[in-house]
Structure 1
Amino acid sequence: MTYTVRRAIQSDVESIQTFYNDSLPLINIQQTSWIPNVYPNFSDALNAISKKEFFICLDEQDIVVGSMILNHESDKAYQKLEWLKSEKNSKQGNLIVHTLISHPKKPKKGIASYMIMFIKKYAAENNMASIRLDTFVNNIPARKLYEKNGFSYIGRTELTSFDNNGTDDCVFYEFQV
């Protein structure tokens, strides 16, 4: 299967909404700590599109099979961790990955790995010092994906839950560009 990853544009909105409607109800919330209708949500996707931070993965039929947000915004908890690469080494800082979703009806098709490959290329082309991300401690498939793709485990700490009613136990990873 051949995939393409690109920045989403306004004309992609309907396809992204279809992707969200098809995939989000199937996401294992015990594995991700995501909260249905709270996070991720379509209004966050629209906001990221307007900021040019939303990226989509398309299959050979130009159907959205994955999405993610790439920017420089990280939670305050990121400052508590000891990262491998300093932002001082790059004019562009660090790339932060948010809400990486591959379609749950298409497991083991290489979608997430292709998206990771794109993120690495994008970070290198944009002179990023590193790629950073976090995931829920119980999200074993995501953790294996990141480790398989050369991300280093940085640490573990609590992040405020998506509904702001507690915290989630999360692990953090970094890839040096």
Structure 2
Amino acid sequence: MPVGEHYFQTKEQLDYLENWLEKRFEKVYIEQGTINDIAELEALYDDLNDYLSANTNYPGWIKGIYPIRETAEKAIEEGSLYVLRKENVIVGSIVLNHEPEEAYDNVKWGIDTSYNEILVLRTLVVHPRFMKQGIAKQLMDFAKELAVSANIKTIRLDVSVDNTPAIKLYEQSGYTYVETVDLGLPYDHLKWFRLYELVL
């Protein structure tokens, strides 16, 4: 090939190379959330709830009710909220704590142990602009890696029976269905929840 000539010559080839380079070198990382993230998380929650209201609201969340600013504040205060940043912008978040819903106590789980050795996964969110890019899967993988590193024995979660995309994600991530329960929420559309567990 003569000096100065390139393998990528057509516009399509150059566009492909540019797109590949952007994905190869973009900064994507997960870290613990801080009080400096609260305003950005609140905006993410609001944007997501607006999107859900305008489309199919699979989780049944309600803007101004859940998730809200206080959701992020409480989780950050207890050190259980993690954010996924893409080019320094929060595009997803997850909460991992040791606090089960009361209904969890009435279920036979795959393993019987103290909640000090159990992570409860909740408030998994992805900004609408970054959906279908594997963000939720990255957060799920992170939860598992964090649990393993902390010698956690199992991860548990609940999901609305209507939230079929999340159910699919959890099952593809290896979580096992346990039981369907009423969490006692004061909303008719949020009565039944499927419980899942990933024994480590």
Length-normalised TM-score, structure 2: 0.79
| 1:174 correspondence with 2:174 | no
Report the CA distance shift for 1:139/1:165 in structure 2 as closer, same or farther (over 3 A).
closer
How far does residue 37 in structure 1 lie from its aligned partner after superposition?
0.6
Which amino acid in structure 2 is aligned with residue 171 of structure 1? R
Contact 1:33 1:168 in 2 (8 A): no
**1:36 equivalent in structure 2:** 63
Which amino acid in structure 2 is aligned with residue 158 of structure 1? D
Contact 1:92 1:126 in 2 (8 A): no
How far does residue 53 in structure 1 lie from its aligned partner after superposition?
1.2
1:12-161 mapped onto 2 (5 Å cutoff): 12-27=37-52, 30-59=57-86, 61-87=87-113, 92-161=116-185
> Can you list the C-alpha shifts for 1:11-40, whole angstroms capped at 9, x where unaligned?
222322332232232125741122221111
Secondary structure at 1:15 match in 2: helix
Contact 2:94 2:122 in 1 (8 A): yes
Which amino acid in structure 2 is aligned with residue 40 of structure 1? P
> Take 2:159 and 2:97, find their aligned partners in 1: how far apart are those partners?
16
- Rg larger for: 2
Structure 1 stretch displaced more, 65-74 or 16-25: 16-25
- Stretches (4+) displaced over 3 A: none
Name the Cα RMSD after superposition.
1.8
Gaps of 5+ in 2: 1-22
Length-normalised TM-score, structure 1: 0.89
**2:6 equivalent in structure 1:** none
Contact 1:92 1:127 in 2 (8 A): no
> Take 1:38 and 1:31, find their aligned partners in 2: how far apart are those partners?
16
Which amino acid in structure 1 is aligned with residue 71 of structure 2? D
- Match 1:6 to one of 31, 55, 78: 31
Higher helix share: 2
How far does residue 176 in structure 1 lie from its aligned partner after superposition?
1.0
> Take 1:21 and 1:165, find their aligned partners in 2: how far apart are those partners?
20
Secondary structure at 1:92 match in 2: helix
Gaps of 5+ in 1: none
Secondary structure at 2:121 match in 1: strand
Greater RCO, CA 8 A, separation 6+: 1
